[in-house]
């Protein structure tokens, strides 16, 4: 799609089913490259980042078969060289997990620098390099290609991460799965997708302890076998629907969730006056309130409030009674979406890592541009609760990480339409 058109004001009602987690999928897909045995992955979300990753693997020589219903079979036995330098590499962030995965299989990786959402400042990979170097890899970055080499196998090492980086934790886990000896990651990321990757690697024969805590131990094996795994459901897609229900003052049931993963989000929504309760083992119900209350939100690593939900939280606080703050302790420049919300009549000032949000009585539809994935989701939520019509461009960012967002929202009663690139080209031609 090239843009979304939203006529705001309809409260969301009904039920929605959450898809597999993007950030788990993009860690588990490269893990399948570590082995030359087939792997089967279920609950794979139908999103652009996954499609790009599958293209990357196919170009490297792997077979990726769509077995239907979100299940894919990956056979990486046809990959004969540890080289991933196709243009697709720069379309996503997680392509850099091929460094760890290829090192684990071949003892070498030639991998193009990653792309992914740009929050304003370049996203570093120094912690990845630090961890892999401690395990014996020599790493060189030249002309946009990261070359990692090792004499024989990597060796286990003790790695302290200066920040609990999700990406560095995952890359080190992948590499350590076939290293000689034990790798210990201290100050590791604890996000649900890190735990999901550990589950998949364990099925493949790796021995991993402590995933989900800040110390992860990986006892390397000579090689890994194939495995079959179902990806966890997406905490951030669920959270985005929770925010959409709250913003529109509706009531929705969100199915196929892991309620524990949502506690960091529901806690803040409840402080705002939203009602959230569990319904059975894998559903939550979210009911909006007449007037949201102002709160202070601070995005921190899991189990804290996710940075990937802070733009959506800001939209809610635009409509709250009083003044709130939204602080991002993960990324220092993740507030580009604020300029778009200002066009809708929001009152927000950004000071360093904090946005000061003064509640207004309503947002008004406007012409907006999504600058990254979660910013895009936030703008959709703003459009859903705004008076009048909102048009959002740059929606390819949204489609990187949300499966069928338009269809799911329409089923909940939202008035949202996607304009396809072709339709727009045709209307321009006329």
Binding site for ligand EPU (CB under 6 A): 22-23, 26, 93-94, 117, 123-128, 163, 165-168, 189, 307-308, 330-331, 373-374, 401
Residue whose CB is less far from ligand EPU, 125 or 366 = 125
Beta bridge partners of 164: none
Strand order in the sheet with 323-328: 296-299, 323-328, 354-358, 347-351
- Residue that is written with structure tokens 């048009």 in the block: 391
- In angstroms, give the least distance from the CB of 126 to ligand EPU: 5
CB atoms within 10 A of CB 315: 28
Least distance in angstroms from the C-beta of 299 to ligand EPU: 8
In degrees, rounded to 5, the angle at the alpha carbon of residue 38 between the alpha carbons of residues 182 and 193 is 55
Query: Has 117 been annotated as catalytic?
Result: yes
Closest CA to 53 of 10, 24, 17, 18: 24
By C-beta, is 8 or 30 nearer to ligand EPU?
A: 30
Q: Which of 117, 264, 318, 385 is catalytic?
A: 117
205 vs 401, beta carbon nearer ligand EPU: 401
Burial 95-121 (b: 16+ CB within 10 A, else e): bbbbbbbbbbbbbbbbbbebbbbebee
> Is the Cβ of residue 126 or residue 424 nearer to ligand EPU in the bound state?
126
Minimum CB separation of residue 304 from ligand EPU in Å reads 10
The H or E element that residue 110 is part of is strand 108-112
CB of 88 to ligand EPU, least distance (A): 15
Q: d(Cα 298, Cα 192) in Å, to the nearest integer? A: 19
| Closest residue to bound ligand EPU by CB | 167
Minimum CB–partner distance for residue 86 and ligand EPU (Å): 18
Count of CA atoms in the C-beta half-sphere (13 A) of 160: 1
**Rounded least distance, CB 311 to ligand EPU, Å:** 10
CB closer to ligand EPU, 113 vs 419: 113
Report how far residue 32's alpha carbon sits from residue 28's, in angstroms, rounded to the nearest whole number.
7
Q: Which is nearer to ligand EPU, 107 or 306 (CB)?
A: 306
Q: How far apart are CA 45 and CA 88, in angstroms?
A: 18
Which active-site residues does the annotation give?
117
């Amino acid at each position: 799609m090239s843009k979304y058109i939203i006529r705001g004001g309809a409260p969301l009602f009904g039920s929605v089913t959450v898809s597999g987690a993007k950030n788990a999928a993009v860690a588990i897909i490269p893990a399948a490259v570590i082995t030359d045995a087939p792997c089967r992955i279920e609950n794979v979300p139908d999103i652009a980042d996954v499609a790009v990753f599958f293209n990357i693997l196919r170009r490297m020589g792997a077979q990726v078969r769509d077995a239907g219903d979100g299940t894919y079979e990956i056979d990486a036995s046809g990959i004969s060289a540890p080289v991933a330098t196709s243009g697709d590499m720069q379309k996503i962030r997680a392509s850099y997990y091929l460094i760890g995965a290829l090192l684990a299989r071949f003892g070498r990786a030639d991998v193009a620098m990653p792309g992914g959402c740009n929050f304003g400042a370049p996203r570093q990979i120094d912690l990845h390099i630090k961890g892999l170097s401690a395990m014996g890899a020599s790493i060189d970055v030249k002309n946009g290609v990261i070359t990692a080499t090792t004499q024989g196998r990597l060796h286990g090492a003790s790695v302290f991460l200066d920040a609990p980086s999700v990406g560095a934790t995952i890359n080190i886990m992948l590499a350590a799965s076939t290293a000689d000896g034990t790798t210990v990651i201290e100050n590791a990321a604890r996000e649900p997708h890190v735990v999901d990757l550990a589950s998949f690697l364990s099925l493949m024969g790796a021995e991993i302890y402590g995933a989900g805590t800040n110390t992860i131990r990986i006892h390397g094996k000579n090689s890994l076998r194939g495995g079959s795994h179902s990806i966890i459901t997406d905490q951030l897609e669920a959270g985005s629907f929770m925010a959409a229900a709250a913003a529109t003052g509706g009531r929705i049931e969100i199915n196929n969730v892991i309620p524990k993963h949502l506690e960091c989000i529901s806690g803040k929504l409840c402080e705002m006056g939203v009602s959230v309760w569990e319904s059975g083992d894998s559903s939550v119900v979210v009911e909006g309130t007449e007037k949201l209350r102002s709160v202070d939100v601070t995005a921190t690593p899991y189990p804290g409030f996710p940075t990937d939900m802070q733009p959506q939280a800001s939209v809610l606080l635009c409509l709250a009674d009083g003044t709130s703050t939204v602080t991002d302790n993960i990324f220092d420049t993740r507030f580009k979406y604020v300029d778009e919300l200002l066009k809708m009549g929001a009152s927000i000032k950004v000071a360093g890592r904090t946005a000061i949000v003064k509640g207004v009585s309503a947002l008004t539809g406007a012409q907006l541009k999504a600058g990254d994935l979660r910013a895009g989701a936030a703008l959709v939520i703003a459009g859903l609760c705004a008076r009048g019509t909102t048009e959002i461009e740059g929606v390819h960012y949204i489609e990187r990480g949300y499966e069928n967002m338009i269809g799911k929202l329409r089923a909940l009663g939202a008035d949202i339409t996607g304009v396809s690139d072709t339709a727009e080209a045709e209307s321009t031609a006329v």
